[in-house]
Amino acid sequence: MKELHIISFNYPYPPTYGGIIDVYYKIKALSEIGVVIHLHCFVDKIPQKVDDEIKSLVANIFFYEKKKNPMLYFSRKPFAAAIRNSEALLKNLNTYKAPLLFEGLQTTAVINCFKNKGFKLYLRLHNNESAYYKGLAKSEKNIFKKIIYTLESFKFHHYQNKLLKKFDAVFCLSQKEYMETSNLSANAVLVHLFHGNEVVKNLDKKGDYFLFHGDLTTSDNKKALDETISLFKSLPDYPLIVASDRANESIKKKINKIENIRLVPIENDDNLHLLFENAHANILLSYQNSGTKVKLFNALYNSRFVIINPNITDDKDLINLCSYGSTIEEIRAHIMTLAEQNYNLTAERKEILQQNYSDKAKAKEIVAVIFKD
């Protein structure tokens, strides 16, 4: 029997944003190929009940409240790691002798308690955390948050360089993280993002609008939306839908002033997939170089054309499925060109995505590494 501890930085349900999407669909895929999972979750508040979707996938689930001590900002460890530390976690991990898979460097505060004690240790590297927080600091307008992100970037730089060599393997989700980890250690393994999509949808030739979707509380998505709004404001003949449940009043006012742009709530997965199906092209922009974004897979599996800038992915096969623009002028040109084109890329996407990027195939890659003995 193959057993595995998974230590998650949050409760992985519902899978509504990048990192947690990868965690949830990884658990699902591993469970479906027979791995017995003991799931450990750091949370702000312990939930009163566990969702049936999670219960059906794991043998056990344990919760630990993140520490709320503001003095941990002054810890030598990154704040995101320092708040995820628990004596109860140590006890529960020792109850079942199985390999440990840490979801992100922020879950690794307890690692030194297990090295050289017979436990196999593995890391899912979700980001180069130092670069990620540096990018947040650059995009953030609030001076206090900018300082916090800068300090966190500095701490993670030293933390990850020291820690990466301690794992039996580090599962990197993009070519960028794989190359960076390989420069520090010989234990890097490239396993692409888990995304939950299974079949590329068959769609007709034309959609009704361009689509921008995302969590509008993050500084990167806010900046991307500002650029997209400016772009479509200068293209009044092209309708844009901005899909998000997390738009503040400032964003709502800005969008309401522009006739060809409309804000639509997502509310649930069915609505999001309907928005994808009726879109002619998706606008995906990012100003953080942090590997392939999960929203790219959602658009490629469920919608028509996809327009991206350089930070959405560094995977050449995925780039070739998109219209790539390194400047706003190039993005603008793609919008105008694709608006007149019929969509006919379904067969090409099926060949590449369903063969090379399925969650089941990635789960088997992980099992082959962890349980190779």
pLDDT mean over 108-129: 88
Shared-domain flag, residues 73 and 37? yes
Shared-domain flag, residues 61 and 144? yes
Please tell me which of 184-188, 284-288, 289-293, 345-349 the model is most confident about, judged by mean pLDDT: 345-349
Instruction: For the chain, give percent helix, strand, coil, nearest 5.
Output: 45, 15, 40
* Structural domain includes residue 273: yes
Count of the separate structural domains present in the chain: 2
* Structural domain includes residue 305: yes
Number of neighbouring beta carbons within 10 Å of residue 197: 20
The identity of residue 230, as a single letter, is S
Shared-domain flag, residues 113 and 191? yes
Percent of the chain scoring above 70 in pLDDT: 99
Shared-domain flag, residues 339 and 213? yes
- CATH number, domain at 303? 3.40.50.2000
Task: Examine the pLDDT at 103 and tell me if it is beyond 90.
Answer: yes
Binned at pLDDT 50, 70 and 90, residue 131 comes out as confident
Burial of residue 253 (CB within 10 Å: 0-12, 13-18, 19+) is: exposed
> For the chain, how many residues are written?
373
Contact 166, 121 (CB under 8 A): yes
Q: What is the pLDDT of residues 38-57, one digit of tens each?
A: 999 999 999 999 999 999 99
Contact 296, 323 (CB under 8 A): no
Q: How, if at all, do strands 3-8 and 100-103 pair?
A: parallel
* Structural domain includes residue 76: yes
pLDDT mean over 113-140: 86
Please give the pLDDT value at position 267: 79
* 169-173, 237-241, 290-294: the lowest-pLDDT one: 290-294
Please give the pLDDT value at position 209: 98
3-state SS, residue 60: strand
Where in the sequence is the domain holding 348, given as residue range(s)? 209-354
Q: Which pTM was predicted?
A: 0.86
Q: What is the pLDDT of residues 296-355, one digit of tens each?
A: 999 999 999 999 999 999 889 999 999 999 999 999 999 999 999 999 999 999 999 988
Burial of residue 263 (CB within 10 Å: 0-12, 13-18, 19+) is: middle
Q: Please state, rounded to an integer, the average pLDDT across all residues of the chain.
A: 93
Please give the pLDDT value at position 266: 86
Shared-domain flag, residues 124 and 62? yes
Q: How far apart are CA 183 and CA 189, in angstroms?
A: 13
pLDDT mean over 169-175: 91
Closest by CA to 243, choosing from 282, 208, 280, is 282
Strands ordered across the beta sheet of 240-243: 261-264, 240-243, 209-213, 279-284, 305-308, 323-324
Please give the pLDDT value at position 116: 67
Please give the pLDDT value at position 155: 96
pLDDT mean over 224-247: 95
In 14-147, beta strands by DSSP E: 36-43, 60-65, 100-103, 121-125
